[in-house]
Amino acid sequence: MAALTKDLKGTQLSNMEALSRAGCIGFSNASYDINDNTVLLRCYEYAATFGLKVLVQAQDQQLGDGHMHAGATATRMGLDGILVIAETLAINRHLQFMQHTGVSGHFNQLTSAAGVALIRQAKAQGMKVTADVGIAHLCFTDTVIEGYRSQYHVQPPLRDESDRKALLEGLKDGTIDAICSAHQPHESAAKCAPFAATATGMAIYDILVPLVQGLVDTGDLTWAQAVQALSSNSAAIALGKATHLTVGATANLTLIDPGHQWVLNASSQLSHGTNQALTKQTLKGRVALTIKGGQVTYKM
């Protein structure tokens, strides 16, 4: 993935065509908003001309200057809230530029029911857009932050239960194409401060499969839906081609044991991140084996 603007400053286009030739599969300004509409228009026009994909994390920079979802929990805890409109305003803005230029766009980490509705409407209109959701937003809501639990301090923020359910419905009906881990590991000091001063992000690497298994156990998803969202759909978005298992083809696969029970702790985790939300808990489901290019790359 390459920068959409030079140094992610939102003032000058990056050399997208050269970066594409060097192997970059998409362009993003990450979590940094591009405030100048003229710059954003030129970025999208350039990307559309060369058939390049643009990825957007839709959150208005000014309205997104908070610490958690703007709801009852934030009010009770005295924390600055981030309104849903911070997401929907940004989605609307980018969709209009995408529609005007015809660029292929992807929205990262949707969080709200209103955001899902906007993507659903855009797809119904025939726009070339796709979207993903972070696994944490499918499993947790803002209420887990009660007690100032900084392990759940993430950006974009965890939202209401109604938003969580809408995200799941969007995934099941195809509005949302993929599930991402949004894995952001931190050292222990990053989360040892007053909640508002802690670093955002959650170490997801070790708990992705258990979280998916939890959704399967509650009937929110099937493993078939999860696998499609985690693998084939993701590959289609990133590479423009589907992945599949075929007899005689080079094996690239992950073998999951959905019934394996284990305790997440310092000795069992693979990530070096200490910001593990489910540490010392007994989890269900784990990757047993990975094969890349026909070679075993991990074995439990």
Residue 8 located in a structural domain: no
Question: CA dist 282 to 175, 241, 278, Å?
Answer: 33, 37, 8
Q: Which amino acid is at 253?
A: L
How many angstroms separate the CA atoms of 136 and 142, rounded? 11
DSSP 8-state symbol, 199:
P
Residue 116 lies in a domain: yes
Give the number of domains in the chain: 1
pTM over 0.75: yes
Average pLDDT of span 3-29: 95
Helix axes 161-172 and 113-124, enclosed angle (nearest 10): 30
Domain that holds residue 252: 57-299
Q: Does an H or E element contain 73, and which?
A: helix 72-77
User: How far is Cα 267 from Cα 289, in angstroms, rounded to an integer?
Assistant: 19
Burial class of residue 192 in the structure, from the number of CB atoms within 10 Å of its CB (0-12 exposed, 13-18 middle, 19+ buried) = exposed
Q: Name the strand (E) or helix (H) holding 27.
A: strand 27-28
Q: 93-102: per-residue pLDDT in tens?
A: 999 999 999 9
Residues 6+ apart with CB under 8 A from 136: 152, 154, 158, 182, 202, 204, 211, 277
| Mean pLDDT to the nearest integer, 201-228 | 96
Is residue 227 scored above 90 in pLDDT?
Answer: yes
Q: State residue 242's pLDDT score.
A: 75
Alpha carbon distance 259, 124 (integer Å): 39
Mean predicted confidence (pLDDT) in 206-229: 96
Q: Is residue 94 part of a domain?
A: yes
The residue written with tokens 């286009």 in the block is 13
Is the dihedral angle over the CA atoms 206, 212, 216, 220 positive or is it negative? positive
Is residue 153 in a domain? yes
Q: Is the dihedral of CA 220, 226, 230, 234 positive or negative?
A: negative
Percentage of residues of the chain with pLDDT beyond 90: 95
Q: What are phi and psi of 186, to 5 degrees?
A: -135, 160
Distances (CA, A) of 95 to 44, 59, 213, 300: 11, 13, 33, 43
Could you tell me the CATH number of the domain that includes residue 87? 3.20.20.140
Rounded distance between C-alpha atoms, residue 90 and residue 108, angstroms: 12
pLDDT in tens, 19-50: 999 999 999 999 998 999 999 999 999 999 99
In a domain? residue 126? yes
Residue 295 has pLDDT above 80, yes or no: yes
Q: Is residue 20 part of a domain?
A: no
Is there a domain that residue 205 lies in?
yes
C-alpha to C-alpha distance for 207 and 136, rounded to whole angstroms:
10
The CA distance from 76 to 109, in Å, is 26
Q: Got the DSSP string for 93-109? A: HHHHHHHHH--EEEE--
270 assigned to some structural domain: yes
Residue 242 has a CB neighbour count (10 Å cut-off) of: 10
Mean pLDDT of 255-270: 95
Spatial contact of 33 and 10, defined as CB atoms under 8 Å apart: yes
pLDDT band at residue 156, thresholds of 50, 70 and 90?
very high
Higher pLDDT, 244 or 40: 40
Identify the band that residue 162 occupies on the pLDDT scale cut at 50, 70 and 90.
very high
pLDDT-derived band at 240 (thresholds 50, 70, 90) equals: confident
pLDDT confidence of 244, banded at 50, 70, 90? confident
